[in-house]
Amino acid sequence: MHDSLSVDFNASNQSSFQQLKWTIEMHEGQFVLILARCNYLRLRSLLVKQLHDQSPVTIREIHLDRSVNTLYTTIVNTLTQEQPSAVMVLDLELVSNLEALLTSTNQVREEFRKNFAFPLVLWVNDQILQQLIRLVPDFKSWARTINFSLATEELINFLKQSVDTVFSQVLESGASKFLPNETILGSSNHLELDSTLKDLKVRNEQLALDLEAGVKLLLGRHAYTKGNIDQALVHYRASLEIFQLWGKTAGEQRKFLVGNKLAVVLFHLGLCYLHLADVQHLDQLLQTARDYFQQCLDIFEQLQRPDLVAKFINQLGEVLEQLSAWDDLQALAQKSLILHQTYGSKFSLAQDYGFLAAVALGQSHWKDANQAAQKALQILTEAPDTEIPQLNLYYLLLAQAQQQLNQLPSAIEYLEIAVNKGKPQYNPQLYIRILELLRSLYYQQGEYLKAFKVKQKQRSLEQQYGFLAFIGAGRLKPQQQLVGSKGALHFQASANNQEHIALEIEASGRQEDLKGLIERITRDDCKLTVIYGPSGVGKSSLLQAGLVPALKEQTIATRRVLPLLLRVYNNWVADLGQVFNTELADIRDVPAADLYNQDLLLSELDNNQHHHLLTVLIFDQFEE
């Protein structure tokens, strides 16, 4: 790809490149702001390399981390005492809170002129350029903007490579895991895809049918990853329709290629309806998902691709299990067992036995269910890369069978393993089902206190993940996002396990109280705030489910906020140190400090200001 880009660079961008190179050379030793507008990472990489190779000026590169929230201080801290001839700043598009970074830049814009005696090049795309115009027009007015673009041939080649790579990866991965476009193609791909389509539209370029259908699939996958299922369905249906039209005009030699792509689109349509069924709990949606998955498998069967049938068949099995279609699921599991002996992984084989265990439970064959669930666990525990979320389903199936066989202590033991080692954010519904059964078994055994504590945990998780509207007098916790994927049923990944303000806080009229607290915290003359009220009015919920997640999204005077919440005081210094390490790890990749006394803790807290962090200490239940 770089060879062809070199041709495009020489033909289309030579004038812009010479202008950039000349501007840097002519302003060596003085401040000048240059915006290098380029929407394509590959072209930018080539331009940066050419600039280093051809410019007589030594140019210092600064790559921004996603967590930075100030431009000026980041440059100063990176350079320390160094006085470079020129500086290029890259990766602005990766910054998570770009609006805060740009706003803080405008506030200290005069410092750039005073202290930077060198040309400063900011590499920007169209989205960043628009934000500069909207948010920091004063700073933007200083800049010279130099544009770079790709030729039409390169834009079309980029689309072809992106589409082909995604199709190949989906066929390689199968139904075991949904890989977003960003994982397959890189984090900047969607921005480049969007820019490519806009550039081609301006140039009145019409895509070939197969490429247009492939692009629709990519757009649908992006919408699906972001949780916009309706938009994903629009793109997937368009992709299916165009591929079907292309298939009618394709020759016999293209039959396999058309078939594979149709099957992939049908699979993605099934995922959408499975996601909708997961939210709306409607069997009709599950049935639609079943139909799409079956059509996908039928095409692979017609193409005589048992390897692909093996990769995608278990997604249909999950739907049949949810529909309690035990006879159909048993037939599918027996078929997939044979396929996976040749083409599958240990995970696929374990899932087959899990299906058989579910069938046996559904048909009240308790011993068969017990045996199949144990076989699934045995297979997975022998696999070196097994993760606990994969094991939890089989712990639950085994416990359900042992409950019916009156082996309650053993069932409780497996459920406790699942609870202690599992992570609810990967599949909260499954985790809650495990808690529900564990609570029931504790109660049957007369362990009433344990049953009560499990019930509390269950209701708290139901509130955090939006399955329960109100938890009574219990303490609210922040809303949580699902992480990663539940099989191929993908949910939007959450960076750093991000928390959000609990919906109950917004619905209860406490939003104004929350705004008042945040406004007070931002003031320099309010170092101490006391929240007073009788027991049970919701002070702890306001702090934990409202103030803490709200502060994590704030930038105050160019500093990111680090809220530290403490509510137990038996060994409060060590506990606060642990909270400090946990919260700091979400912001910066630093090793945990050993904060066992007040002096060490105070030193670390003081050090935060050098990293542009504003620490907010929150002491809940302070009367204790």
CA distance 48 to 570: 56
Same domain, 10 and 93: yes
CA distance 414 to 382: 17
> Of 87, 117, 150, which residue is a domain's last?
150
DSSP for 249-286 reads HS-GGGHHHHHHHHHHHHHHHHHHHHHHHHHH--HHHH
Same domain, 29 and 137: yes
Same domain, 240 and 259: yes
Does residue 271 sit within a domain? yes
Same domain, 113 and 235: no
Does residue 605 sit within a domain? yes
pTM of this structure: 0.76
Does residue 205 sit within a domain? yes
Same domain, 203 and 143: no
CATH code where residue 51 lies? 3.40.50.300
> Which residue stretches of the chain have pLDDT < 70?
1-12, 250-253, 384-389, 468-510, 536-537, 555-559, 587-593, 595-596, 610, 624
* pLDDT score recorded for residue 12: 67
Same domain, 129 and 161: no
Contact 217, 264 (CB under 8 A): yes
What is the signed CA dihedral for 458, 461, 465, 469, rounded to 10 degrees? 70
Same domain, 254 and 222: yes
Residue matched to tokens 């399955």: 467
Does residue 551 sit within a domain? yes
CA distance 505 to 543: 10
* pLDDT score recorded for residue 5: 46
> Of 150, 182, 216, which residue is a domain's last?
150
* pLDDT score recorded for residue 374: 96
Same domain, 293 and 204: yes
* pLDDT score recorded for residue 477: 54
Residue matched to tokens 């060490």: 600
Interacting residues of 71 by C-beta distance below 8 A, sequence separation 6+: 89, 101, 102, 104, 105
Does residue 548 sit within a domain? yes
> Of 266, 288, 304, which residue is a domain's last?
304
Same domain, 84 and 200: no
* pLDDT score recorded for residue 123: 97
Per-residue HEC secondary structure of 435-463 comes to HHHHHHHHHHCCCHHHHHHHHHHHHHHHH
Residue 617 phi/psi, 5-degree rounding, is: -90, 125
Strands 555-556 and 559-566: antiparallel
Does residue 477 sit within a domain? no
* pLDDT score recorded for residue 11: 62
CATH code where residue 252 lies? 1.25.40
From 452, 459, 466, select the one nearest 501 (Cα to Cα).
466
Q: What range does the domain containing 219 cover?
A: 151-304
With b meaning 16 or more CB within 10 Å and e meaning fewer, what string describes 247-275? beeeeeeeeeebbbbbbbbbbbbbbbbbb
Does residue 571 sit within a domain? yes
Same domain, 137 and 199: no
> What's the Cα-to-Cα distance from 376 to each of 7, 128, 420, 532, rounded to whole Å?
56, 50, 20, 54
Same domain, 215 and 144: no
Does residue 193 sit within a domain? yes
Q: At what angle do helices 306-322 and 326-342 cross, to 10 degrees?
A: 150
Same domain, 174 and 291: yes
Please tell me the total count of domains within the chain: 3
- Token output for 191: 């921005």
Residue matched to tokens 């920007």: 124
